[in-house]
């Protein structure tokens, strides 16, 4: 089965990876002139914070927090 994925941000290539792994044929389309060279802002809260604590990387992530609110 062929699948069209709209967007080459963080989710598009991830979806492409998993769909390919399960035997589908994804194609990604992107209207931006080029792929992003910088990072992405990811906000962890709720279960995301719980997982970071469980994985032992909460403090390191909190130190790189770019949001106006800070977590303890």
Q: What is the mean pLDDT of the chain?
A: 84
| Whole-number pLDDT of residue 69 | 59
Q: Which domain holds residue 10?
A: 2-32+42-63
User: Considering its fold, how many domains does the chain have in total?
Assistant: 1
- Is 14 inside a domain boundary? yes
- Is 19 inside a domain boundary? yes
CA 20 to chain centre: 18
pLDDT at 19 over 70: yes
- Mean pLDDT over 25-31 rounds to 96
Kindly report the pTM of this predicted structure. Answer: 0.54
- For the beta carbon of residue 38, count every other beta carbon within 10 angstroms: 5
């Amino acid at each position: 089965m062929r699948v069209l994925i709209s967007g080459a941000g963080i989710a598009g290539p991830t979806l492409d990876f998993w769909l390919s792994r399960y035997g589908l044929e994804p194609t990604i389309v992107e209207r931006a002139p080029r792929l992003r060279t910088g990072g992405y802002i990811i906000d962890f809260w709720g279960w995301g914070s719980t997982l970071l604590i469980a994985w032992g990387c909460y403090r390191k992530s909190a130190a790189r927090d770019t949001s106006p609110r800070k977590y303890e």
